[in-house]
Amino acid sequence: MTFVEVDHIDRVFPLPDGGEYIALKNIDLKIRKGEFITLVGHSGCGKSTLLNIISGLDKPTVGGVVLEGRQVTEPGPDRMVVFQNYSLLPWLTVRQNIALGVNRVLRELPESERNGIIQKHIDMVGLAHAADKMPGQISGGMKQRVAIARALAIRPKLLLLDEPFGALDALTRGGLQEQLMRICEESQVTCVMVTHDVDEALLLSDRVVMLTNGPESNVGQVLEIPFERPRSRMEVVNHPNYYGLRNEIVYFLNQQKRVKQKKVKPLVAVAKNGLEKVNLDIGFIPLTDCAPLVVAKEMGFFEKHGLTEVTLSREPSWKAIAQGITGRRLDAAAMVTGMPLALTLGLGDSAPQPIVSALTLSRNGNAIVFSKQLYNEGVRTLEDFKALIDRTPDKVHTLGMVHASSMHNLMLRYWLASGGIDPDKDVSLTVIPPAQMVANLKAGNIDGYCVGEPWNARAVHEGLGFVIANDLDIWQGHAEKVLGVREDWANQYPKTHLALVKALLEACEYCDDRRNREGILEVLCRPHYLGTDPAYTRPGFLDAYDRGDGSPLRSYLNYNQFFTSKTNYPDRVEALWAMVQMARWGIVDFPRNWLEVTERTWRTDIFGQAARELEMLDFGRDRRPIVLGDGTVFNPDDPIAYLNALEIKRDINIVEVALDPIAV
């Protein structure tokens, strides 16, 4: 049960020049009662700012903190802070410093009972011999023990510690750490602590929350600490997982250090109209979910934002999209979700080409179609297909997908593997451009495929196949198409890039207003865009969906999703899932510095700026594990453990990816 909820916190500070500094961005954290949470990150990442917001000493710009169902709006005795500098009153004795809070907060208790509480906490921290001494007469370690006793004596619900042992020598610090651990376990107090000490975090914590660099610091990774309580230092250090966990935290901190060091100042020439470039060639594939690009062009959103000469280039395949971007023929493109990551890491024999995405264009919209021949052989479910494969070991079934890095490929493989089918050994997967899927199915070259609309609905409409599964069955709400540009292009034309994101974000909002869908459909079906019959472009986009298996038509309101439910935020957890799945099947090596790669590629800062300038919500989607349709949970904080636990996979290669300096 949640005891403390940090609910999508932003903290923005005004600057003297009229600008603003975003210290914290979309901090979302749930803390259980009795839990010990440690905040770790480099200086300037906002650890102390977050602690101050939880304590009520500072207020968030966006979001809030809830403690036991009540919002925190100001400091209170239910939250006590222990600072690094002790903050004792020098003219009062140890006993009097502790008594100050007790007599104020617990004044309704009899004096004898209050004195008993004071003495108990003096004894608890081992200061009975120094109870009547002034702070100037005791050591730094003893002063910190007084501060802890003073905080605990008023029986707070939440203890907040801001580097409480940072100024102490190693021996004193070690003793106080063990004493704090014992006190917290006995009192069952909930704690949030800021520290720079990795070993301290491991010793004391139930979870370590690692924050990325500022500005716009966010939760980069959360590490569960599995050591049982009560703990002793030697048992923790000798635990077989200790050094693995320690290396995980150190690795995260080193990643963040590299990110900070690699940033350099840009050199940008700004044109008279305020944009560096207004003539853009943007690639797309003829699919229903190219609608935001078409709408931005036809409804004037590109022009509204200063992009007066935009050409939408209809490409024959996703391979052509990738080549157009890396070969500099295209300025930008609608890409399949995994493509920016795959190109950044180096897909196949290609050299790495850093790609950035600051906008998710669409979610859902895919289906897996099987031929009517398989239907006639009794295949209705994944289990039926597995049974057919087992019955006919000499028959190799061929399934089409559109690109190695596409969600079509990754979700088709995931779906097959969830049913015990190895996608590389039990079936044959082949790459076919989307517009050629139906023709290949009709010719008998393939037994099925996974693709976006309208090519699934067309197969159903023409009686060639049936939908055995779609996105809503496998992973409802996943990212499908994203805006992709070369990183060097984004750095050379930052204002143009921002204008492009803003135009498409407004177009996405327009697409999800269902009152506009009839008009959008008419434009989409024109020859230079989809060139398809509206009869098989309507299902899912406007009309109820026919799966072609004799079941009733189904209404899928979010089958093509463009704006609602925070569609457009570049979700790094989803990016990580895609990268993990690509590594699972040997498409790319898995980067040991995965957080650095996703932060480099999924540009939440550019999205946030665009959303704010459009006066839209700029906060992200909840950072939480992904639960897929088969009940499997993907934990974004431990992707390597997830990979290792998979039963069906290829040999996984985990490497450190060297990234060139960032020009911003």
Given a cut of 90, whether residue 586 has pLDDT beyond it is yes
Q: What is the pLDDT of residues 29-73, one digit of tens each?
A: 999 998 999 999 998 898 899 999 998 999 999 999 999 889 998
Residue 156 or residue 10, greater confidence: 10
Residue 180 pLDDT level (bands cut at 50, 70, 90):
confident
pLDDT score at 518: 96
Least confident of 287-291, 346-350, 542-546: 346-350
Residue 170 pLDDT level (bands cut at 50, 70, 90):
confident
Return the percentage of the chain with pLDDT > 90, whole number: 58
pLDDT score at 557: 85
Q: What is the pLDDT of residues 618-634, one digit of tens each?
A: 877 778 889 998 899 99
Phi and psi angles of residue 400, each rounded to the nearest 5 degrees, phi first: -95, 145
Q: What is the pLDDT of residues 241-256, one digit of tens each?
A: 788 888 888 878 887 8
Q: What is the pLDDT of residues 138-154, one digit of tens each?
A: 887 787 777 777 777 77
- Helix 111-124 with 140-153: angle, nearest 10 deg: 140
Separation CA 256–CA 600 (nearest Å): 11
Given a cut of 70, whether residue 453 has pLDDT beyond it is yes
**What is the average pLDDT score of the chain?**
89
Q: What is the pLDDT of residues 218-232, one digit of tens each?
A: 888 888 888 888 888
Judging by DSSP bridges, how do beta strands 662-663 and 263-264 pair with one another?
parallel
Q: Mark 637-659 as b/e (b = at least 16 C-beta within 10 Å).
A: bbbeebbeeeebbeebeeeebeb
Q: What is the pLDDT of residues 496-526, one digit of tens each?
A: 999 999 999 999 999 999 999 999 999 999 9
Best CA proximity match to 283, nearest among 449, 486, 477: 486
Per the CB < 8 A criterion, the answer to whether 253 and 42 are in contact is yes
Given a cut of 60, whether residue 593 has pLDDT beyond it is yes
Per the CB < 8 A criterion, the answer to whether 405 and 582 are in contact is yes
Place of tokens 């004898």: 112
Q: What is the mean pLDDT of residues 471-475?
A: 93
Given a cut of 90, whether residue 330 has pLDDT beyond it is yes
pLDDT score at 368: 97
Given a cut of 70, whether residue 266 has pLDDT beyond it is no
Per the CB < 8 A criterion, the answer to whether 479 and 341 are in contact is no
pLDDT score at 109: 84
What angle (nearest 5°) sits at the alpha carbon of residue 25, between those of residues 24 and 26?
130
Q: What is the pLDDT of residues 384-403, one digit of tens each?
A: 999 999 999 999 999 999 99
pLDDT score at 661: 59
pLDDT score at 92: 84
Least confident of 161-165, 281-285, 609-613: 161-165
Q: What is the pLDDT of residues 189-205, one digit of tens each?
A: 899 989 988 998 998 89
Which sign, positive or negative, has the C-alpha torsion 225, 27, 508, 529? negative
Given a cut of 50, whether residue 27 has pLDDT beyond it is yes
Least confident of 196-205, 291-300, 560-569: 196-205
Given a cut of 70, whether residue 662 has pLDDT beyond it is no
pLDDT score at 427: 96
